[in-house]
Copies of this chain bind each other. A is one copy, B any other.
Amino acid sequence: MARPHPGESAASGPDTHVRVMFQPHGREASVLAGSSLLEAAACVGLTIETPCGGGARCGKCRVQITTGAPDPGAAEAAVFSEAELRAGWRLACQTHLDASATVYVPEMSLFGSRHQILVDFERAETGALCPAVRKELVAMEAPTLDDDAPDLMRLEQRLGRVSVDAALLRELSPKLRRSRFQGTAVLADHRLIDFESGDTRDSCYGVAVDVGTTTLVGALVDLSTGVERAIAARMNPQVRYGDDVLSRIRHASEKPNGLDELRDAVTGEVSSIIAELCERAGVRAEHVYEATFSGNTTMEHLLCGLYPAALGQVPFTPTFARGLWFPAADLGLPIHPRGLAYVFPVIGGFVGGDTVAGMLATHLDAHEGPTLMVDIGTNGEIVLAHDRQRWAASTAAGPAFEGARISCGMRATRGAIEKIVIEDDIHCSVIDDAPPVGLCGSALIDAVAELLHHGIVSSRGKLLDADELPSSVPDALRRRLCTNAQGEPAFLLAKGEATVTLSQRDIRELQLASGAMRAGINILLKNAGIAAADLARIRIAGAFGSFIRRGNAQRIGLLPLEVERSRIQHVGNASLSGARWALLSTEARARAEELARATRHIELSRDPDFDIEFAMAMIFPDLD
């Protein structure tokens, strides 16, 4: 049905989806054919550890592909015996999937597994499990006249010096006596969070939250094993105050109680997510001791209730830069009353904690060769790492990628066309196999890329008139040229209960969005003194990015054609992965802080070349 496009190697496969079932976790990922197994695992929240950065050197990312195993490569033949290879053992970092598969992931290959701790502890490698919150079993003698040390001093004889807030100090004496001085101390850094009766070391949880402008995703993680126990996503209820960050900044700055409304909306929904996660995993909320948050700069400010007005005007100044660590009660979160909240550091007004978390999760400081990370969305973030330096920028791509300002655009929900292939006629995939009612961002890119391919749209973005079309265009496609309800030239994509068309103006919106992103990429490349062809790899982060077909993104010029498609990988929700990692490792948290501080923030609009780069990037590449 689908066929290879020009410029795509057969090896990387066409942009169709394959299903990957991960065992023993029982999670199924649907990813583009040719995706790395690492990406597929990341999409369902499994972080396979790759201390060498995916270079097939450390051999730690072993998995067993029980059905659908591709042929092994030379690196794998060097690591595994022939019998192992026959049994489907492969290195996840080397495996790209062209067909659906079932994959067994041994616990020791997962980041944060118990086994991992030992291995990593010995090797002193990154990725060891060292959460900020830890539990310690404490067995003390009760005071006597011969040993009459005060309660806190007695505890500190076991724990070392700790700080205790007034609320816990008030309960300490009765807590120690009720538990007969035997119990579990809960510590964060040198802060004593609680003293619990008996041995509760098995009940130690945290929540990682990706605070998106549109979507909130939370994951409940067992801090003693690193295992994710539940994951849940909800719409960010702030959308009722505006779709994009600027309208929310205006609401918070100009409306009475506007800031409180926005803060309460997001903290309320996060609280509800936490309650749901605990309910599903059978975990008591008071056994959740920490929450980590990654989001863009505005989302983090609103979450914390910080006035965002300065983020809405030149020079877009955030209140904070370093990550914040304060009582979760200050955010009104329903976890342990003395639990903590960590909010990711930000780089600038439009390069926020979600980008830093993504840099952390994609090991952007550890790869060899120039690496580009892009998070495509209304606000596109771009980070380039090269030669131990990093540059970051944000682009106001506009909401076209989210389906907004597109005549028949919609979010990627039921009824949205999410994939379009054009051969003799059009083939659409609709979310939930429902009758089509509009198209979402990934299908917008597909439609324009295919129309370019068929010569129906010119490289300058003009939807050609019927009499301008090349003769090769099939009649079925010619008949789809039309005029939409607004009287504009358009192309009919689907007709059912609703008529879905792509208009000339829609193509212009995509040109603006794609051109802005690409111009940003080019400016960062210029700052690093390298060309697009030098890029060793591109990582596409973010929920929206996961649905983009790489070949089509390259076809419209959003991503450089010079980079071989197999070197472009989807990494899924890297913001959430980073937040989860920060939950499990203070060392990772320190790296996040370092990444944020040692990344140069490039203000694209101030680059003298930006305008010309933007204009050039709006012209689609001339291929055919």
Contacts and interface: CB of A to CB of B under 8 A. Distances in A.
Interface of A: 143-145, 148-153, 165-167, 169-174, 177, 304-310, 314-322, 324, 326-327, 330-331, 346, 348-349, 601, 603, 606
Given A170-B307, A306-B170, A152 B315 contact: no
A320 B169 contact: yes
Nearest to A331: B166
B166 A317 contact: no
16 contacts: A145-B603, A150-B319, A150-B346, A151-B310, A151-B319, A152-B321, A153-B320, A153-B322, A166-B331, A169-B320, A170-B304, A170-B306, A171-B307, A172-B319, A173-B308, A173-B309
A315 B148 contact: yes
Contacts of A330: 165-167
Contacts of A324: 166, 169
A317 B177 CA distance: 11
Nearest to A305: B170
B151 A317 contact: yes
A139 to B, nearest CB: 18
B317 A152 contact: no
A331 to B, nearest CB: 8
Contacts of A174: 307, 309
Given A145-B606, A315-B143, A326 B166 contact: yes
B151 A316 contact: no
Contacts of A150: 317-321, 346
Contacts of A315: 143-145, 148
A346 B348 CA distance: 48
A306 B173 contact: yes
Nearest to A603: B145
A169 B304 contact: yes
B321 A149 contact: yes
A321 B155 CA distance: 12
A554 to B, nearest CB: 33
Nearest to A320: B152
A152 B319 CA distance: 6
A477 to B, nearest CB: 48
A349 B317 CA distance: 53
Contact of A173 (B144, B310, B314): B310
Nearest to A153: B321
B145 A326 contact: no
A172 B310 CA distance: 11
B307 A173 contact: yes
Nearest to A167: B330
A217 to B, nearest CB: 23
Nearest to A152: B320
Contacts of A166: 304-305, 324, 326-327, 330-331
A423 B307 CA distance: 79
A316 B151 CA distance: 11
Contacts of A143: 310, 315, 317
A428 to B, nearest CB: 45
A321 to B, nearest CB: 4
Contacts of A151: 310, 317-320
A169 B319 contact: yes
A331 B165 CA distance: 12
A308 B327 CA distance: 27
A173 B152 CA distance: 39
A177 B151 CA distance: 47
Contacts of A319: 150-152, 169, 172-173
Given A150-B319, A167-B330, A170-B304, 17 more contacts: A145-B315, A148-B317, A148-B349, A149-B321, A150-B320, A151-B319, A151-B320, A152-B322, A166-B304, A166-B330, A169-B304, A169-B306, A170-B307, A171-B307, A173-B309, A174-B309, A177-B310
A560 B537 CA distance: 88
Contacts of A348: 148
Given A166-B330, A321-B153, A148 B316 contact: yes
A165 B306 CA distance: 12
A504 B510 CA distance: 104
A253 to B, nearest CB: 10
Contacts of A314: 145
Nearest to A330: B166
A146 B169 CA distance: 48
A173 B320 CA distance: 9
A603 B143 CA distance: 14
Contacts of A601: 148
A601 B177 CA distance: 23
A318 B176 CA distance: 12
Nearest to A316: B148
Contacts of A320: 150-153, 169
A304 B152 CA distance: 15
A145 B348 CA distance: 11
A307 B168 CA distance: 11
A217 B131 CA distance: 46
Nearest to A144: B315
A419 B165 CA distance: 48
A491 B12 CA distance: 113
Q: Which 8 A-B pairs have the closest CB atoms?
A: A166-B330, A150-B321, A150-B318, A148-B315, A143-B317, A145-B315, A173-B307, A153-B321
A601 B153 CA distance: 15
Nearest to A601: B148
A171 B348 CA distance: 19
